Amino acid sequence: MQQILQNLRDGSTEIADVPAPALRRGHLLIRSEVTLVSAGTERMLVEFGKANMLQKARQQPDKVRMVLEKVRTDGLAATFDAVRSKLDQPLPLGYCNVGTVIGVGAGVSGFSIGDRVVSNGKHAEVVSVPVNLCAKVPDEVSEDAAAFTVLSAIALQGIRLVNPTLGECVAVTGLGLIGLVTVQLLRAHGCRVLGIDFDRAKLALAREFGAETVDLSASEDPEAAAAAFSRGRGMDAVIITASTKSNEPVTQAAHMCRKRGRIVLVGVTGLELSRADFYEKELSFQVSCSYGPGRYDPSYEERGNDYPAAFVRWTEQRNFEAVLDMMAGGKVDVSGLISHRFRIDQAEKAYALLGGGEPSLGILLDYERDEGNAETLLRRSVPLPTAVPVPRESGAQVAFLGAGNYAGRVLIPAFAKAGAQLHTVVSSGGVSSVHFGRKFGFRNASTDTAAALRDEGVDAIVIATQHGTHADLTHAALQQDKHVFVEKPLCLTLDELHAIEHTYADRARRGVAPVLTVGFNRRFSPHVQKIKSLLAGVKEPKSFVMTVNAGAIPAEHWTQDSETGGGRLIGEACHFVDLLRYLADAPITGHQLTAVGNMPGVGIRSDRVSFTLQFADGSFGTVHYLANGHKGFPKERLEVFTAGRVLQLDNFRRMRGYGWPGFAKMNLWGQDKGQVACAAAFVQAIRGQGPVPIPVEQIFEVARVTIELDAAV
């Protein structure tokens, strides 16, 4: 299928051939009919992409600070690679979609195949959208009109925050698509509306919708106009739907408002506010968040947990429905807002128009409605022109399940360097699989996990999906007699662990014995290998202190969810259980954990813990895994005390030895956590050219201990 992608590095737009997305639980699969180009948001993204690196930095100073902190802790090379990788990934454009339901995911009710729906789906021939971001289109509303629903919901949410009453005077600053819809919705509320803009054509449309206007291009004074319009009382409210770097719209809004007036920012402006302007009038100022309550809440959007209407009357989905009802009743008319339309295969012309000097307003994209091409549209796998020519050797044909940031930036390059033959890369949406597939020379990009697992041409499966899927995918891959490399963790529960152990043992009894390993890369890093060699000559017990300055992650992030991510102790601290198990070279015989106190405001506790491991040889190791530190401190520090000597390793870049004959320090120009060496060990093992990277007994032991530690929080 065709999908519009934008390159953030240079701002170029591409119509890419992408595999159709998978139908997921709680989602609808929708065949697109019409989509609307958001003149504000999408123009801003295109302009950001075309900006040079200095201009990009100026637009995102908070990101610059994050980059500088990463340079201090991880080094320049690792930071440069991370930034380059982020900018290199294509961005799917669009969020105003109208189409027909062609698939209903498990757990979805109220929708059927054949329904006409609006959603915030992308500019693509087929989209998979969470059910709470979809709404049925009434028969009275055309596809063209319905394409404005999501954008109109943004306007409606701004109005809900203003909470206007019948007869109030409200100014709308910025008469783009959202501003003009805002005018109509305010008029439907019984408000008197004053529209402000530079564009005379847009001002004329606003007057058609019942507003009085202020023409800034003719040097008309908005403050004087507002005073006259409000009969000298001042505006009751101002809604700012403009997009500008200037602070003027907010300052102007404060001057126009009456005492205790309300200002809501829907667009994007400068926010250097004058305290006096707001203090003297006791003005309220609020920034509107997109379509309404539920936006950016994973529980609502991704997991489909609706808010009770008695407590949250207007969610983003119910705002969609309200807009469609207004359209069906003739209260909102968007026919005059359509300025251009193109076929999806002409999308590059649409974006050239968006970034050019020709006036435009609502740009619609039309999609092929020929039922004969349904099979092509729904292809779950597409062949790729290989960007990197590679010999197709047998024995190491690898399929990647998951193509997120870590997989694309670290794991796939590591396997490529290790000489693996990259067969298929799978992602749920298809965009990242096409991007990384082309970049690293995969044969196929796919959204079909089951097909990749069944493919007889695939020797090994690399699992780089969300943590909650690891156990099932590992189990399924082993049942297909595939070698398995699973990015940590192996699983989230003891029941999952027992199932994997049973399946692996069954394969071993049958003489298949696939290679199973977990991405515990730190044991393969050059520094840890040096520590291992130094400790080889020490016969007495060792004491390990591992300090992990993990950094805070919001409680709503998927890694913190017990089902999806397993929490950070299972999801990441397992690395350090394995590292100490490797260095001690002895089984873990006991463990205990202490977590930060359960106090108000503490929130997640499993990422602020200290745990101790006891080993069979008398060694012990303590891991401080802490999310409440400062970013300037090294993220990972390992200290080893034994035989009157000490080793100290910081961030896998610098290591110092105290009291070690013939060893004082080992420094690298860049950070090396062992990912390439870990991948190489796996590839050599599946080719029969080396031992298994990690003994499977240690993999199971580390998984069990980590799960038990998490249960103690």
Q: Which of 57-71, 218-232, 682-696 has the lowest mean pLDDT?
A: 57-71
Task: Provide the CA 709 distance to its chain's centre, in angstroms.
Answer: 29
Mean of the per-residue pLDDT values of the chain: 91
Instruction: Give φ, ψ of 660 to 5 degrees.
Output: -95, 120
Q: Where are the alpha helices (DSSP H) in 574-625?
A: 574-584
d(CA 297, CA 291): 12
User: How much is the average pLDDT of 243-248?
Assistant: 89
CA distances from 394 to 52, 397, 457, 686 (A): 44, 6, 9, 11
pLDDT confidence of residue 173: 97
What are 84-110's pLDDT values in tens digits?
Answer: 566 677 889 999 999 999 999 999 999
d(CA 433, CA 165): 50
- Residue in this structure with the two tokens 């449309």, named with its chain if needed: 205
Q: What tokens were used for 199?
A: 């564009």
Amino acid identity of 647? Answer: L
pLDDT confidence of residue 372: 60
pLDDT confidence of residue 91: 86
Radius of gyration of the chain (CA): 29
Q: What tokens were used for 396?
A: 């190491």
pLDDT confidence of residue 231: 96
d(CA 294, CA 133): 9
d(CA 294, CA 317): 9
What are 257-284's pLDDT values in tens digits?
Answer: 999 999 999 998 888 888 888 998 999 9
pLDDT confidence of residue 387: 47
The DSSP line for 681-707 is HHHHHHTTSS--SS-HHHHHHHHHHHH
Instruction: Give φ, ψ of 190 to 5 degrees.
Output: 85, 25
- Report whether 356 contacts 331 (CB < 8 A): no
Domains of the chain: 2-148+334-373 (3.90.180.10), 151-287 (3.40.50.720), 381-518 (3.40.50.720), 521-711 (3.30.360.10)
pLDDT at 569 over 60: yes
pTM of the predicted model as reported, rounded to 2 decimal places: 0.87
pLDDT confidence of residue 80: 54
| Three-state secondary-structure class, residue 5 | strand
Please tell me what DSSP assigns to residue 570. I
Instruction: Give φ, ψ of 193 to 5 degrees.
Output: -120, 135
pLDDT at 5 over 50: yes
Q: Is the dihedral of CA 379, 385, 386, 392 positive or negative?
A: positive
The DSSP line for 257-304 is EEEEEEEEE-SB------HHHHHHHT-EEEE--TTSTTTT-HHHHTT-
Count of other CB atoms within 10 angstroms of residue 138: 14
CA distances from 251 to 495, 658, 670 (A): 60, 62, 48
Q: Which of 62-66, 368-372, 421-425, 564-568 has the lowest mean pLDDT?
A: 62-66
Q: Identify the residue with better confidence: 463 or 553.
A: 463
What are 494-523's pLDDT values in tens digits?
Answer: 999 999 999 999 988 888 789 999 999 999
What are 152-162's pLDDT values in tens digits?
Answer: 999 999 999 99
What are 374-428's pLDDT values in tens digits?
Answer: 667 888 999 998 645 545 455 689 999 999 999 999 999 999 999 999 999 999 9
d(CA 443, CA 423): 5
Query: How would you classify the pairing of strands 620-626 and 543-549?
Result: parallel
pLDDT at 48 over 80: no
pLDDT confidence of residue 509: 87
pLDDT confidence of residue 8: 73
pLDDT confidence of residue 78: 58
What are 648-680's pLDDT values in tens digits?
Answer: 999 999 999 999 999 999 999 889 999 999 999
